[in-house]
């Protein structure tokens, strides 16, 4: 037992030299707890009562190390926007604990924005309040939508200003994931000629996180392909664009990690680009499945001494099947199609085409299916075509049980304007209540909340053109 009743283990450090650098967090500013997530705390058997202990803000703000754990920054490399970027690593994140819960699960505790590391390159090691709130809310939102993700535990304000395009308030995010190992970890040792370390890393990952597959590297890679395909299928179904699918931002466990300029779509546009810095649209919404496969190929190359070429290719070839099955299941659920009938795929495809032409709101296009007037309103001048599609859907589902629709089609989606509302409230007015309200809406996105109805809407005209970029 360590501080706050946590059971800590220096598990990642067993990988040995070349995988990390030990260093303490920088004590930046004066830590003040802005918000903490009780659901996330429970994952590491942390009693949410500790949130009111001032030592909690100090620990999660990087001022008070957790006893029994030697903090470290991880080393990894990666392909950024399709180009080999060489060594990257945790430039502003620090692993400050690995907690073993009563169920036997291991959870990394990382602080993001707790100072410079040997991997900071030109960066300042800091995080701004804006991106910290964005990651905090989005990881809660995705978890509630049943999408694998890292979890945010807390936001601590540092009280210091951070230089970006303008001066911005600084913050430290504490986040949890079973592991923060990335595809880029494998690329790092492989492309730096340390091929024996690829096996060390694979054994480490399989031993802790895929124990059933011990000794079978091919089956393990197949599982990574499957998880990645399922992850991206879930993003596509819910209308989430990650924004920076570089290989260093791809979790080996198939989790959503490293929230940056992500976006939930408002009007449906398959070529939606959420990252203002992505001029070519490499990470446009519709490209995400292909990019995931590209990234898996980069990972496969690093495993070429552990797994035969044929087995690697077989696993990669399965991506499309896994993706298709997972995507289809999620989309069918969104339309209430339980029984398999001929023409179902076309029904789904025609809806998407219609929404794209009408630029209809993606989330409301599912939520309002059972409210004909509200649904038709989404399609503006295309109402006639929309009406014809709706008649087909109504005929197709007349014998389906539609009571489950409300449990798969979220009412409260973390649209950009909603996240921005939380950010402005905290930054401009120290208004934590609005952040708390939005947090509670997105963590229970299917439950109607009378006070929150305004946040279910598409962006008001004043907040249509918010831009997000890699600068965070
Ligand atoms: P990202 O695409 O945001 O996940 O970051 C890519 C790389 O840049 C990672 O190695 C990060 O740790 C690093 N990085 C991003 N922002 C900063 C910063 N402000 N200070 C130091 N390193 C950073
Ligand atoms: Mg990253």
208 within domain boundaries:
no
For residue 221, the model assigns a pLDDT of 99
What does the DSSP 8-state code read for residue 242? -
pLDDT tens digits for 399-411?
Answer: 999 999 999 999 9
171 Cβ contact partners less than 8 Å away, ≥ 6 residues apart: 34, 113, 127, 128, 129, 132, 133, 155, 156, 157, 158
According to the model, what pLDDT value does residue 464 have?
Answer: 79
| Minimum CA distance residue for ligand 1 atom 7 | 88
Instruction: Give the angle 24-113-296 at the CA atoms, nearest 5°.
Output: 100
**pLDDT score recorded for residue 462:** 86
For the CA of 117, the closest atom of ligand 1 is 21
Predicted pLDDT at 2? 67
| Ligand index nearest the alpha carbon of residue 121 | 1
What pLDDT digit, counting tens, does each position of 282-293 carry?
Answer: 999 999 999 999
CA of 206 to the centre of ligand 2 (A): 22
Provide mean pLDDT across the span 347-367. 98
DSSP 468: B
* Spacing, Cα 257 to ligand 1 middle (Å): 13
**Structural domain ending residue among the three candidates 347, 380, 407:** 407
Q: Check: CB of residue 85 under 8 Å from CB of residue 77.
A: yes
Q: How far apart are CA 256 and CA 237, in angstroms?
A: 15
Q: Whole-angstrom Cα distance, residue 316 to residue 297?
A: 7
Is the sign of the CA dihedral 76, 81, 86, 89 positive or negative? negative
Q: What contacts 24+ positions apart, CB below 8 Å, involve 204-207?
A: 204/12, 204/14, 204/15, 205/179, 205/181, 205/252
Q: Spell out the alpha helix ranges (H) of 1-69.
A: 38-43, 54-60
| 248 C-alpha to ligand 2 centroid (Å) | 6
Residues 6+ apart with CB under 8 A from 221: 299, 300, 303, 307, 311, 312, 315
> Quick check: CB of 361 below 6 Å from ligand 1?
no
Residue 380 is assigned to a structural domain of this protein: yes
Which of 25, 38, 235 lies closest to 127 in space, CA to CA?
25
In the chain, % of residues over pLDDT 90: 97
Alpha-carbon distance of 150 to 236, in angstroms, equals: 18
Whether 247 is in a domain gets the answer: no
Pick from 83, 121, 172, 291 the residue to mutate for probing ligand 1's pocket: most ligand atoms within 8 Å of its CB.
Answer: 121
- Model pTM score: 0.98
The span from the CA of 217 to the CA of 299, in Å, is: 13
pLDDT, the chain, mean: 97
Backbone angles phi, psi at 176, to 5 degrees: -120, 145
* Phi-psi label, residue 352: left if phi above 0, alpha if psi -120 to 50, beta otherwise: alpha
Domain count, the chain: 2
Ligand 1 close to Cβ of residue 91 (< 6 A): yes
Among the bound ligands, the one closest to the CA of 116: 1
How many Å apart are CA 409 and CA 349, to the nearest integer? Answer: 17
- In angstroms, the CA 401 to CA 176 distance is 37
> Does the CB atom of residue 26 touch ligand 1 within 6 A?
no
Evaluate whether residue 267 is within a structural domain.
no
In a 10 Å sphere around its CB, with 0-12 CB exposed, 13-18 middle and 19+ buried, how is residue 399 labelled?
exposed
Pocket perturbation via mutation, ligand 1, pick of 120, 122, 260 by most ligand atoms within 8 A of CB: 120
pLDDT at residue 465 is higher than 80 = no
1 pLDDT more than 60: no
How many angstroms is it from 258 CA to the middle of ligand 2? 5
Residue 175 Cβ inside 6 Å of ligand 1? The answer reads no
Domain termination residue (choose one: 181, 204, 229): 181
The answer, yes or no, to whether any atom of ligand 1 lies below 6 A from the CB of 258, is yes
Asked if 385 is an active-site residue, the reply is no
Pairwise CA distance, residues 471 & 242, whole Å: 15
Q: How confident is the model at residue 461 (pLDDT cuts 50, 70, 90)?
A: confident
Q: 126: Cβ below 6 Å to ligand 1?
A: yes
75 in ligand 1 pocket by Cβ < 6 Å? no
List the structure tokens of 346: 């076309």
Q: Say whether pLDDT at 240 is over 90.
A: yes
In a domain, 209, yes or no: no
Query: Which is the catalytic residue, given 3, 108, 248, 258?
Result: 248
CA distance 279 to 292: 19
Q: What is the pLDDT of residue 76?
A: 98
Q: How confident is the model at residue 215 (pLDDT cuts 50, 70, 90)?
A: very high
Residue 342 included in any domain: yes
- Give the residue from 120, 148, 181 where a domain finishes: 181
pLDDT by residue (tens digit) across 372-387? 999 999 999 999 999 9
Confidence of residue 343 (pLDDT cuts 50, 70, 90): very high
* CA nearest ligand 1 atom 21, residue: 123
Domain assignment present for residue 172? The answer is yes
Q: Which ligand is nearest to the CA of 470?
A: 1
336 pocket-lining for ligand 1 (C-beta < 6 Å): no
CA pair distance 152, 133, nearest whole angstrom: 10
* pLDDT of amino acid 472: 73
Is any ligand 1 atom within 6 A of the Cβ of residue 57? Answer: no
Nearest atom of ligand 1 to the alpha carbon of 125: 20
Choose the residue to mutate in 77, 87, 122, 123 for probing ligand 1, maximizing ligand atoms within 8 Å of C-beta: 123
Give a yes or no: residue 56 inside a domain: yes
- CB-CB contact of 94 with 73 (8 Å): yes
pLDDT tens-digit readout, 141-173: 999 999 999 999 999 999 999 999 999 999 999
For the stretch 330-341, pLDDT in tens is: 999 999 999 999
State the average pLDDT over residues 45-57: 98
Atom number of ligand 1 nearest to Cα 124? 20
- What whole-number percentage of the chain has pLDDT above 70? 99
DSSP one-letter code for 455: G
**What is the tens place of the pLDDT at every residue in 242-289?**
999 999 999 999 999 999 999 999 999 999 999 999 999 999 999 999
Find the domain containing 69 and state its range. 8-181
Could you read off the pLDDT of 25-40 as tens digits, one per residue?
A: 999 999 999 999 999 9
């Amino acid at each position: 037992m360590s501080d706050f009743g946590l059971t800590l283990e220096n598990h990642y450090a067993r990988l040995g030299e070349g995988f990390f650098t030990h260093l303490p967090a920088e004590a930046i500013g004066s830590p003040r707890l802005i918000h903490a997530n009780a659901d996330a705390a429970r994952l590491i058997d942390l009693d949410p009562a500790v949130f009111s202990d001032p030592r909690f803000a100090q620990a999660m703000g990087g001022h008070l190390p957790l006893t029994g754990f030697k903090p470290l920054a991880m080393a990894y490399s990666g392909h950024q926007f399709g180009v080999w970027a060489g060594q990257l690593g945790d430039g502003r994140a620090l692993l400050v604990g690995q907690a073993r819960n009563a169920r036997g699960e291991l959870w990394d505790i990382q602080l993001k924005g707790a100072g410079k590391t040997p991997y900071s390159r030109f960066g300042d090691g800091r995080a701004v309040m804006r991106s910290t709130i964005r990651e905090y809310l989005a990881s809660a939102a995705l978890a509630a939508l049943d999408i694998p993700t890292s979890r945010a535990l807390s936001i601590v304000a540092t009280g210091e200003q951070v230089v970006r395009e303008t001066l911005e308030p600084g913050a430290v995010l504490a986040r949890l994931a079973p592991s923060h190992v990335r595809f880029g970890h494998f690329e790092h040792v492989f492309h730096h000629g340390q091929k024996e370390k690829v096996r060390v890393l694979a054994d480490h990952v399989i031993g802790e996180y895929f124990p059933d597959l011990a000794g079978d590297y091919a089956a393990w890679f197949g599982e990574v392909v499957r998880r990645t395909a399922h992850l991206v299928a879930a993003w596509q179904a819910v209308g989430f664009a990650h924004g920076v699918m570089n290989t260093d931002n791809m979790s080996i466990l198939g989790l959503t990690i490293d929230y940056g300029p992500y976006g939930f779509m408002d009007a449906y546009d398959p070529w939606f680009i959420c990252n203002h810095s992505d001029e070519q649209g490499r990470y446009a919404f519709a490209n995400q499945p292909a990019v995931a496969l590209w990234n898996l190929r980069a990972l496969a190359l690093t495993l070429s001494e552990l797994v035969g070429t044929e087995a690697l290719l077989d696993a990669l070839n399965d991506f499309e099947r896994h993706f298709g099955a997972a995507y289809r299941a999620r989309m069918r659920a969104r339309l209430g199609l339980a029984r398999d009938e001929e023409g179902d795929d076309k029904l789904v495809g025609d809806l998407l085409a219609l929404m794209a032409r009408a630029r209809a709101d993606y989330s409301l296009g599912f939520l309002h299916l059972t409210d004909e007037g509200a649904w038709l309103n989404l399609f503006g001048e295309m109402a006639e075509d929309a009406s014809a599609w709706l008649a087909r859907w109504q005929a197709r589902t007349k014998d389906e049980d539609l009571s489950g629709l409300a449990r798969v089609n979220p009412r409260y989606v973390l649209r950009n304007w909603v996240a921005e509302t939380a950010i402005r409230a905290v930054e401009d007015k120290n208004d934590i209540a609005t952040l708390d309200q939005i947090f509670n809406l997105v963590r229970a996105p299917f439950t109607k909340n009378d006070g929150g109805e305004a946040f279910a809407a598409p962006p008001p005209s004043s907040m249509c053109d918010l831009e997000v970029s890699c600068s965070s």
